[in-house]
Structure 1
Amino acid sequence: MRIQNVALIGLGAMGSFFAPRIEQYLGRQNFQVIASGKRKERLEKQGVTINGVNYRFTVRQPEEQGPKADLIIMAMKDMGLDQAIEDIRNLVGENTQILCVMNGIDSEERVAAAYGWEHVMYSYMRMSIVMKDGTADFDPYWGKVHFGEAKNEELTPRTERIRDFFENCDIPYQIDTDMKRGIWFKYMCNVGENLTCALLGIPFGAFRSSDSANAIRRGAMREVMAIANKKGIPLTEQDIEDQEATVRNIPFANKPSTLQDLEGKKKTEVEMFAGTVVRLGKELGVPTPISWMFYHGIKVYEEKNEGKFEIE
Structure 2
Amino acid sequence: MVVWLRIVVFGAGAIGSLFGALLAEHGHLVTLVGNRQHMERIEEEGLRVETVSGCGRTVPVATALGGVDWGGVELLLLTTKAYDVVRAARQLRGVLPAGVPVICLQNGVGVEEMVGRELGSNPVLRGVTWQASEFLAPGRIRHTATGKTLVGPPKNHPSHLGFVTRLVKVFSDAGLPTEYVENVERHVWVKTAINAAINPLGAIMGVRNGELLGVEGVESTIDNIVGECVDVAARVGVELDRGAVSRQVVRTIRDTADNKNSMLQDIERGKRTEIDFINGAVCGLGEKFGVPTPLNRLLLQLVKKIEVRGKNRHKKI
Give the corresponding residue for 2:53: none
Confirm or deny that 1:86 pairs with 2:90. yes
Deviations 1:276-312 (A, max 9, x none): 222222111111111111111112212222338x9xx
Give the corresponding residue for 1:280: 285
Confirm or deny that 1:304 pairs with 2:309. yes
Pairing 1:63-82 to 2, within 5 Å after superposition: 66-82=70-86
Q: RMSD over aligned Cα, in angstroms?
A: 2.9
- 2:165 alignment partner, one of 160, 164, 175: 160
SS of the counterpart of 1:280? helix
Equivalent-residue separation in structure 2 for 1:71 and 1:287 (angstroms)? 40
Deviations 1:30-78 (A, max 9, x none): 2111247555445434654211334452122699554331111011112
Instruction: Provide runs of 4+ in structure 1 moved above 3 Å.
Output: 35-43, 45-48, 61-66, 207-211
Quick check: 2:202–2:212 contact (8 Å CA) kept in 1? no
Confirm or deny that 1:32 pairs with 2:37. no
Quick check: 1:64–1:90 contact (8 Å CA) kept in 2? no
How many pairs were matched up? 303
SS of the counterpart of 1:73? strand
Give the corresponding residue for 2:226: 221
Equivalent-residue separation in structure 2 for 1:90 and 1:62 (angstroms)? 19
- Are the structure 2 counterparts of residues 174 and 16 from structure 1 closer, same or farther at C-alpha, using a change threshold of 3 Å? same
Equivalent-residue separation in structure 2 for 1:63 and 1:86 (angstroms)? 19
SS of the counterpart of 1:67? helix
Give the corresponding residue for 2:252: 247
- Are the structure 2 counterparts of residues 268 and 178 from structure 1 closer, same or farther at C-alpha, using a change threshold of 3 Å? same
Equivalent-residue separation in structure 1 for 2:261 and 2:284 (angstroms)? 23
Please, which moves more after superposition, 76-85 or 184-193?
A: 76-85
Structure 1: state its 5+ residue gaps.
none
Quick check: 1:281–1:287 contact (8 Å CA) kept in 2? yes
- Are the structure 2 counterparts of residues 305 and 242 from structure 1 closer, same or farther at C-alpha, using a change threshold of 3 Å? closer
Quick check: 2:98–2:121 contact (8 Å CA) kept in 1? no
- TM-score of the aligned structures, taking structure 2 as reference length: 0.84
Structure 2: state its 5+ residue gaps.
51-55
- Are the structure 2 counterparts of residues 230 and 181 from structure 1 closer, same or farther at C-alpha, using a change threshold of 3 Å? same
Give the corresponding residue for 1:12: 13
Quick check: 1:36–1:61 contact (8 Å CA) kept in 2? no
SS of the counterpart of 1:283? helix
Equivalent-residue separation in structure 2 for 1:115 and 1:194 (angstroms)? 30
Confirm or deny that 1:189 pairs with 2:194. yes
- Are the structure 2 counterparts of residues 46 and 269 from structure 1 closer, same or farther at C-alpha, using a change threshold of 3 Å? farther
Quick check: 1:261–1:268 contact (8 Å CA) kept in 2? yes
Confirm or deny that 1:294 pairs with 2:295. no
Question: Percent same amino acid among aligned pairs?
Answer: 21
Give the corresponding residue for 1:173: 178
- Are the structure 2 counterparts of residues 163 and 306 from structure 1 closer, same or farther at C-alpha, using a change threshold of 3 Å? closer
